[in-house]
Amino acid sequence: MTQYKVPLIIRGKVIEDYEAQFGGRDGATELVTPSVGKYMSELALTRPSAMSDLYAISFEEILDYLEQLGTRLHLAENSYVQDALDLSLRTSGLSEGILRDCYANLHKIFGKEQWRQTVDRTIGIDHVEGWVEHAIGNGGRAAIRAFGARSVHVIAGNVPQVAAITIARNAVTRGDAIIKTPSNDPLTASAIARTMIDMAPDHPITRHLSVAYWKGGTETVEERLYRPANIEKIIAWGGFASITHISKYLQPGIDLITLDPKLSSTILGRETFADEATMRAAAALAALDVGVYNQEACSNARVIYVESGTDQDGIDKANAFGAMLNEEIRALPPHFSGPAVRMDPALENEMNALRLSSEWHKIYGGGREGAVVVSQMDEPVDFAKLLANRVANVVPVDDLEIPVRAVTAYTQTIGIYPESLKAQLRDRLSIHGAQRIVSLGGSGMPVFTGPQDAIEPMRRMCKWIIDESRPESYLKQVLVKEDEGEMA
C-alpha cells in the first residue's frame, strides 16, 4: 500500500495536517488528506465582499498570470506536476504513454492567446472587463456585465486537463473556485494551485482558488458547504452518483450546472465502402475516435453505425471494416492510446459470453489491446453502455434512419463520414439529443471556444448583471391611463 498526501488548499494556504484516509481507485494506493470538515469555516467564502480584489486587476493581467503559470508547469521542472503524474499512473484509467503526454503538455493549456480567444467567443471580453451598454428604446439604456461567482467545481478525473481547464476558466471569469477533486485524479488541481502559490502567493487569482478532496457524498462536508450563503453555483462533472449526492442540497440560490456523463457514437455513410482504400482510411480515422484517451472520455466512439446494408454482402463489408478497425486501433501510437490499464470485469464477462454463445456477433481482437464486435444484424450489443477498454461495436444498417433514431439525451459526440453527410444529418441528430457533431476522427479535439454538452459553461459560470436606466419622464408614464399612453 503506497500512501499519497493530498493537501487541502484554501485560497493561497496549503494545509497539511493529514488525518483522513481514503482508498484510491486501484486498491493499492491510499490517499491521506486533512479533514475538510474541520476547515469548513475557512473553505466557505461567506463574505461576498472578499471577491472585490478580483476587480482590481484587468483581464490582460489575468491572461499574463495564466501565461506565466504555464511556463512554470513544465513536467521536467515542476515536482508537484511530477507527483501528480506519479499518482495518476496508479489511479488513472489512462495508460502511461498518454499520461506522460498529457502532463508534458499541461502547460500549453494556459496560453494567453488561447484564453483571449475563448473568452471573446464565449462571453465577450468587454462583458468581463466592464459594463457593456446598449439602448433599450424610449431613451433608456441597459448596461450588462458578467461577474464571477462563488462556485464549487466537482470535476472529473478521467483526463488531467479537466483540472487545468477549470482553474483557467475560474481565473478568466473572476470566480472563486472550490475544486472538489476526484479519486482518480486527486493531485493535478493541487499541483497547479501549489505552483500558483509559489509563483504569486498574494495574487487575487491565487487567493480565489481552493482545492479539496473529500469522498463524494460526505454529509459533514457537503451539507455545510452547499448552502446559498457559501456558494452560488455548483459545476458538476461526473456520474449519476455524484449528481445524486448534490441534488439533495439544491435549493433556490444555488445554480447547478451539470456536465454529465454521455456516450458518443459514429455514423459512416455508404460512401465508406466505395473501395478498400476508402474503407481503410475511414477505419484509421474511426480508430482515433475509439482510442483517444483509451476510450475513457465521453466523446469516444463506442457504437459505430455503418451504412453497409444488412444483406450478406453488407454484413461481409461490415466485417471487413471491423477487421480493419481492429488493426488500426492496435496500431495507434502509445502517447495517444494504449492497452487497457484496468479491464472492466463487467465488460469482460459480456465479451466472454458473446464470444462463446453468439452467432449474431463477430469479434475481432480481444484482451487488453481492445476489440471490435461486429453485429451481424442491425442492433448494437445489449451492453453498449459498458463499451470501454478500446472495444467498439460496428453495427451494419440499411438505412441511416436507424442511427438517427438511436440518438438520445445521453448522446454527446457523433463522428460522421463522409464530411458531406454531416450537413445532411445534423439538424435531425440535434433534435434527437446529439450535442456535438464532428468530422470522423475529431472526437478527441474539442473546440474550446465552443459550447460543451449543449450548454455554454463559460457563460453559465458567470453571474449576468444588468443595470437598467430609464428617463424619469418615461417611468412616470405608468401613471397615465393606458389608452392615453403610447405603446412602450
Partner 1 sequence: MRSNAEQAKSWGLYVDDQDEWADLFYYSIDDLHSVPAEDLDHIAIRGLRERFEYLKPRLLMLGKLADEQGVTEILDVNDAAKLLFQHSIYKSYPVSFVEKSQFDRLTKWLSGFTTADLSGLNFDGVETIDDWIMMLDAETSVRVLHSGGTSGKLSFLPRGTAETDLMIQGWRLLHEGAGPDLPPMDEVPVIFPAYRTGAFAQQRMFNRMVETVFGGDQSMLVALNEGRMSADALSLGGRLQLAAQKGELGEVRLSPALIARRDEYVRSMTEAPTRMSDFIDAVAKSLAGRPVAMLAWVGQLYDLAQAGLDRGLSNIFASNSNIMFGGGWKGRTPPENWEAVITGFLGVDKIRDGYGMTECIASARSCEHGHYHIYPFQIPFVLDPLTGEPYPREGEQTGRFGVFDLGATTYWGGFLTGDKVTVSYEPCPCGRTTPMVLANSISRYSEAEGGDDKINCAGAPEAHDNALAFLMASVEN
Q: In whole angstroms, how close is the CB of 360 to partner 1 at the nearest point?
A: 6
Q: Is 382 in the site for partner 1 (CB under 8 A)?
A: yes
Residue of 96, 369, 379, 456 that binds partner 1 (CB under 8 A) = 379
Binding part of the chain for partner 1, among 13-21, 151-159, 355-363, 437-445 by CB under 8 A, reads 355-363
Residue of 177, 402, 438, 461 that binds partner 1 (CB under 8 A) = 402
Binding part of the chain for partner 1, among 155-163, 269-277, 407-415, 418-426 by CB under 8 A, reads 407-415
Q: In whole angstroms, how close is the CB of 468 to partner 1 at the nearest point?
A: 44
> Is 339 or 433 the residue whose CB approaches partner 1 more closely?
433
Q: Is 408 in the site for partner 1 (CB under 8 A)?
A: yes
Q: Is 406 in the site for partner 1 (CB under 8 A)?
A: yes
Q: Is 357 in the site for partner 1 (CB under 8 A)?
A: yes
> Is 356 or 479 the residue whose CB approaches partner 1 more closely?
356
Q: In whole angstroms, how close is the CB of 430 to partner 1 at the nearest point?
A: 13
Residue of 250, 360, 399, 468 that binds partner 1 (CB under 8 A) = 360
Do residues 23 and 225 touch, judged by C-beta distance below 8 A?
Answer: no
> Is 76 or 356 the residue whose CB approaches partner 1 more closely?
356
Q: In whole angstroms, how close is the CB of 305 to partner 1 at the nearest point?
A: 11
Q: In whole angstroms, how close is the CB of 394 to partner 1 at the nearest point?
A: 15
Binding part of the chain for partner 1, among 40-48, 104-112, 168-176, 401-409 by CB under 8 A, reads 401-409
Q: Is 344 in the site for partner 1 (CB under 8 A)?
A: yes
Written in H, E and C, the secondary structure of the chain is: CEEEECCEEECCEEECCCCEEEECCCCCEEEEECCHHHHHHHHCCCCHHHHHHHHHCCHHHHHHHHHHHHHCCCCCCCHHHHHHHHHHHHHCCCCHHHHHHHHHCHHHHHCHHHHHHHHHHHCCHHHHHCCEEEEEECCEEEEEEEECCEEEEECCCCCCHHHHHHHHHHHHCCCEEEEECCCCCCCHHHHHHHHHHHHCCCCCCHHHEEEECCCCCCHHHHHHHCCCCCCCEEEEECCHHHHHHHHCCCCCCCEEEEECCCEEEEEECHHHHCCHHHHHHHHHHHHHHHHHHHHCCCCCEEEEEECCCCCHHHHHHHHHHHHHHHHHHHCCCCCCCCCCCCCCHHHHHHHHHHHHHCCCEEEEECHHHCEEEEECCCCCCCCHHHCCCCEEEEEECCCCHHHHHCCCCCEEEEEEECHHHHHHHHHHHHHHCCCEEEECCCCCCCCCCCCECCECHHHHHCEEEEEEECCHHHHHHHHCCHHHCCCC
**Amino acid of residue 195:** T
Contact flags string 29-58 toward partner 1, x per CB under 8 A: ------------------------------
Q: Is 355 in the site for partner 1 (CB under 8 A)?
A: yes
Residue of 20, 381, 440, 461 that binds partner 1 (CB under 8 A) = 381
> Is 122 or 411 the residue whose CB approaches partner 1 more closely?
411
Q: Is 464 in the site for partner 1 (CB under 8 A)?
A: no
Q: In whole angstroms, how close is the CB of 379 to partner 1 at the nearest point?
A: 5
- Could you give the angle at which helices 79-91 and 96-104 cross, rounded to 10 degrees? 150
Q: Is 352 in the site for partner 1 (CB under 8 A)?
A: yes
Q: Is 430 in the site for partner 1 (CB under 8 A)?
A: no
Q: Is 414 in the site for partner 1 (CB under 8 A)?
A: no
Query: What is the side-by-side strand order in the sheet with 2-5?
Result: 2-5, 29-33, 20-23
Binding part of the chain for partner 1, among 71-79, 99-107, 141-149, 381-389 by CB under 8 A, reads 381-389
Residue of 135, 346, 445, 455 that binds partner 1 (CB under 8 A) = 346
Residues that bind partner 1 (CB under 8 A): 344-346, 348-350, 352-360, 377, 379, 381-382, 384-385, 402, 405-408, 410-411, 432-433
